[in-house]
Amino acid sequence: MVDNHESTTSGKTKQKLWDGRFQEATDAFVEAFTESVSFDKRLAEVDIRGSIAHATMLNTVKVLTNEEADAIISGLETIAHDVREGTFTWSTALEDVHMNIEQALTDRIGDVGKKLHTGRSRNDQVATDIRLYLRQVCDGVIHQLTILQLGILGLAETESETIMPGFTHLQVAQPVTFGHHLMAWQSMLERDMARFADCRKRINVLPLGSAALAGTSYPIDRELTRQLLEFESISTNSLDAVSDRDFAIEFAAAASLTMMHLSRWSEELILWTSAQFDFVSLPDRYCTGSSIMPQKKNPDVAELTRGKTSRVYGHLTALLVLMKGQPLAYNRDNQEDKEPLFDVVDTLSSVLIAFSDMIPELVSKKDNMLRAAATGFSTATDLADYLVRKGIPFRDAHGIVGRLVSESEKQGVDLADLSLSTLQGACQVIEDDVFEYLTLTGSVNARNHPGGTAPSQVRASVAAARERLQ
């Protein structure tokens, strides 16, 4: 609930936490223009956690007495409870999440609440909040990516022998196993996961103690605050710590790359569920119909994933542009980091939920895949490799097979359907063992090395990936 009944344009009726020097109340428009509580209230839980750690530290260094710290901490806990229950009343007149909570604390425990903000500023407070929030988000995303990968691994194992066409230029190139294709997606997601883990390291640094920009004159113990908030290290420069949002940009960049991968994947699902390909079917509950065409089953979740990728890229750009013009240290511009960042988080996590649920239920249409793999002369490279094994230089073999492809096209058949005499007419070294090399199974089985498409290699890479995900 956001309540703005306290805002006013006439007379100085509302006391702001910072209005000591002001002669008139904030203009209602300015209040609405500058508020962030409508979206940064999402940070309430981490804001309170940061405040409790700060108060605990102030108590340890004797800036707060035991009684003062106890009152502040239990007051903050009652606020945390109300926020969780959804009964806390937010006020836009109080601008942001930080001042809403601080004001509520003073309302609840009296003047001692006013001591919480000793030795800190909203500048180091908000930087701390975003880092605490994003650290949690990274853990959640890494978990979601793990679940999705486990789903892919299960499917890849079942589909390790299923043959489908592999494409280059979206033209049939060589047969591959569907399991191998699925493992390509797993490889991308594994790198994505590593990017989040890496970006988490730079998120996991404590800015609190930097105060407004220069540090504070109180005898603070930043190492204690660090321990309480479980940060890996403390920031080394106060000007930098209150102002930079590079860690949020890194997160948005990692999210953009993951969305790029999911969007490519979506594009394939969209193609593969079309009548023209008809390689897979998606569960009905993941598709929608058309209001006019009764036969339609549209892959909307995949299409929207492809579409939503654009907004994540937009937010990454917004964050980069937000920072590029800012002199040190904190500027109010930084308040604009939150909406893009939150939308990146929400978009990415909704797409990951959808994929984790949808992918394990993907059903392959093996006959259609096999039929498609048998078209387009997908074993032409295997024939060239056969000739090379019989002593023909690769470039010559390439030419011979090219002529045989042209002959097959003329006859309207596949390479494997040409007669032995036709094959021998093109090259005398060909014997009747050639046909086993021209089969799709022979072709995939032959690519039997780490990273290759052979079923045994797919099973090995599934096992290795499962091991890494443990």
Tokens 């990454």 belong to residue: 316
Q: Which of 126, 176, 416, 434 binds ligand ARG (CB under 6 A)?
A: 126
Two tokens, residue 456 = 């045994």
Work out whether 63 is an interface residue with ligand ARG (CB under 6 A).
no
Name 90's bridge partners: 2
Compute how many residues bind ligand ARG; rule: CB under 6 A: 10
Verify binding: residue 134, ligand ARG, rule CB under 6 A: no
Catalytic residues: 169, 290
User: Does residue 324 interact with ligand ARG by CB under 6 A?
Assistant: no
Rounded to the nearest whole angstrom, what is the least distance from the CB of residue 48 to ligand ARG in the complex? 15
- Which one of 96, 159, 244, 250 is in contact with ligand ARG (CB under 6 A)? 96
- 129 vs 192, which CB is nearer to ligand ARG? 129
Residue choice 26, 92, 100, 123 for contact with ligand ARG (CB under 6 A):
123
Rounded-to-integer distance, Cα 359 and Cα 282, Å: 8
Q: How far is the CB of 337 from ligand ARG (least distance, A)?
A: 7
Find out whether 205 and 234 touch, Cβ atoms under 8 Å: yes
C-alpha dihedral sign at 215, 216, 217, 221: negative
Measured between alpha carbons, how far is 313 from 259 in angstroms, rounded to an integer?
9
Q: Which stretch binds ligand ARG (CB under 6 A): 52-60, 119-127, 258-266, 400-408?
A: 119-127
| Residues 432-451 within binding reach of ligand ARG (CB under 6 A) | none
Residues 6+ apart with CB under 8 A from 131: 203, 204, 205, 206, 207, 231, 247
Q: Which residue has the tokens 């992918």?
A: 359
Choose one: 111-119, 163-171, 329-337, 426-434; the region binding ligand ARG (CB under 6 A).
Answer: 329-337
> Contact with ligand ARG (CB under 6 A): which of 177, 273, 335, 364?
335
Using CB under 6 A, pick the residue from 334, 356, 445, 457 that binds ligand ARG: 334
Q: Which of residues 30-59 bind ligand ARG (CB under 6 A)?
A: 36, 40
Q: Which is nearer to ligand ARG, 183 or 319 (CB)?
A: 319
Candidate residues 332, 395, 410, 449; the one interacting with ligand ARG per rule CB under 6 A: 332
Using CB under 6 A, list all residues that contact ligand ARG: 36, 40, 96, 122-123, 126, 330, 332, 334-335
